[in-house]
Structure 1
Amino acid sequence: MRWPWRSGRTPPPILVDDGSLAVLASSFDPAAGEGPALAALASAGHPADAPVLLRHLFALPDPSDAPGQPDTPAQPDTPGPPEGAGASSSGAGEAALRTAVERDGYEVHRLGERLAVTRQVVPTILAVAQERARMTGLETRLPVVYLGWQALAPPPARTSNPP
């Protein structure tokens, strides 16, 4: 016997952020909401029920913004911060972010100077709003700055018109 909800369906492909996916929609303005970005996703030709790889971007705080750092330049006889002090604070932010999200199925990796937190979802306004709310909540508890999100998927097939 075949299960009725599985008849004739193939599971969606697993999307991997390996450079082969295109950014079809994004939102970096929290006041804009998810509706306009998801409308752009639909207008790009992405099927409504097809999953995307939702990539949330975070920045690590600048080491000079760390608490306890003097705002005035150091005197010549005063030693500066130890070599690599900025790397340890950024490493702590990355480790804290990994601990907070990886147990829930997210993947964390570096994307240049940024941290990318990804998970495959079917993009609905509710799903993306919940994801964004979770990520902005992490910003209040961890030493990271939430920048926004991008929806990645295989580039839509271009149909060519015959001459």
Structure 2
Amino acid sequence: MQIVDKALEEVTGLVGKVVGKAPISDNGQTLTVAAPPDRVAEFWRDPHNLSRVLGDFGAVSVTGPDRYRWTLNAPGGQTLTWESTLEDTAHGLRFRGVPQGDGAAGASWIRVDFGTAPQQLGTEVRLHARLPLPGLLTGAAAFTVLYRARALLQTGELPTLHHNPSARTGDR
């Protein structure tokens, strides 16, 4: 039944694109980070870190106490900008959209949950995003953001192929 639901969601997204409205999608991704939960939570509160892990997907800036402005690059060269407030939850953090105009932005959120990884291997970080972006991009983007966050937390560096000494002409 999940396959049918996913197909329906994708068709709805395609129809939404045609008529000019993208559906709101909620996809989650999980990775284990070899770091304690308090360090992981501190990482996710820093807008500089968020901008670094978003990379080409967008940028984050602070607009006030516990208020963030997210600028996300949507498919087709469009840019999605929304304000959010940072809230502590029982299992992590939530960036909740601040309603503007018709209140549609209030339905957007990004939630980062933390839990102890099995066999004391660090912290399991689960990223959920409910954004007006097509479902597949949100899932792929969520995984990429988590992957980059894990790399920064564990090594202090982002994985990249830029300046690769392999003599390739492209970034790949």
The normalised TM-score by structure 1 is 0.35
Larger Rg: 1
- Larger RCO, structure (CA 8 Å, separation 6 or more): 1
The normalised TM-score by structure 2 is 0.34
